Amino acid sequence: MIRQSWEKLRSRCERCARTTLILGTTLVALLFAGILMAAGAAGLAWTNTEKFCIGCHEMRDNVYAEFKGTIHDTNRSGVRAICSDCHVPREPGPMLMRKVQATFELYGHFVTGVINTKEKFEKHRYDMAKRVWTRMKETDSLECRNCHHASAMDPEKQSERAKNRHAKMKSEGLTCIDCHFGIAHKEPDGGPGPRELKIGKR
């Protein structure tokens, strides 16, 4: 197919030098690749917006409704986290992997309707939370660390309890989600919390 296209192009431009044809074809290919990359980057950026995340009623009426008014939504500093800040890694590789996983999760939304009512959503809440907790434990709470940098934390501005717990976290090999869960969404019933989940080493 490529050979046939080349031959057609060559026959249309009999007087063109071979170098000119190669350069012209390369430029067109690079332009096309650039357009595809720009469209892909724009698509990734769009799927990270809050508007996209709450575009379906399952998210808007359940977890987003719970998120409203929490410390991640409204606080004294005015720094606000949106869905993608906590649920999508920023590093290119992990972000693309998460996008692929999310694409498969859409099957449940569009085809099976597994969480399309409040009752169904509550029935599956623990399983969904467990998947998020497991992923965050496997990545050492990478999404939390997008905004919360340990090196920028001032222990002197923390309570004694917080200082002691953070020290214990380090000594026991725990990660953010082991303690900080149920702060943006309702804590699910039905099983152990993230600290009790047994996963492989990070």
Q: What is the pLDDT of residues 134-165, one digit of tens each?
A: 999 998 998 888 888 888 888 888 899 998 99
Identify whether residues 42 and 64 lie together within a single domain: no
Closest to 105 measured CA to CA, from 82, 131, 130: 131
Identify whether residues 131 and 173 lie together within a single domain: yes
Identify whether residues 40 and 60 lie together within a single domain: no
Query: Which tokens go with 14?
Result: 């009999």
Task: Give the three-state DSSP class for 14.
Answer: coil
Identify whether residues 125 and 166 lie together within a single domain: yes
Identify whether residues 1 and 67 lie together within a single domain: no
Residue 177 lies in a domain: yes
For residues 12 and 28, give the distance between their C-alpha atoms in angstroms, rounded to a whole number.
16
Residue 201 has a pLDDT of: 47
Identify whether residues 120 and 150 lie together within a single domain: yes
Split into its structural domains, the chain has a count of: 2
Section 169-198 average pLDDT: 89
Closest to 116 measured CA to CA, from 57, 190, 64, 60: 57
Residue 85's pLDDT band (cuts 50, 70, 90): very high
Identify whether residues 192 and 127 lie together within a single domain: yes
For residues 135 and 162, give the distance between their C-alpha atoms in angstroms, rounded to a whole number.
24
Identify whether residues 77 and 108 lie together within a single domain: yes
Closest to 175 measured CA to CA, from 192, 191, 199: 199
For residues 5 and 77, give the distance between their C-alpha atoms in angstroms, rounded to a whole number.
59
Residue 201 lies in a domain: no
CB atoms within 10 A of CB 39: 10
Q: Which domain holds residue 27?
A: 1-47
pTM of the model: 0.75
Section 108-124 average pLDDT: 85
Identify whether residues 160 and 89 lie together within a single domain: yes
Section 15-29 average pLDDT: 76
Identify whether residues 181 and 81 lie together within a single domain: yes
Identify whether residues 98 and 175 lie together within a single domain: yes
Identify whether residues 33 and 83 lie together within a single domain: no
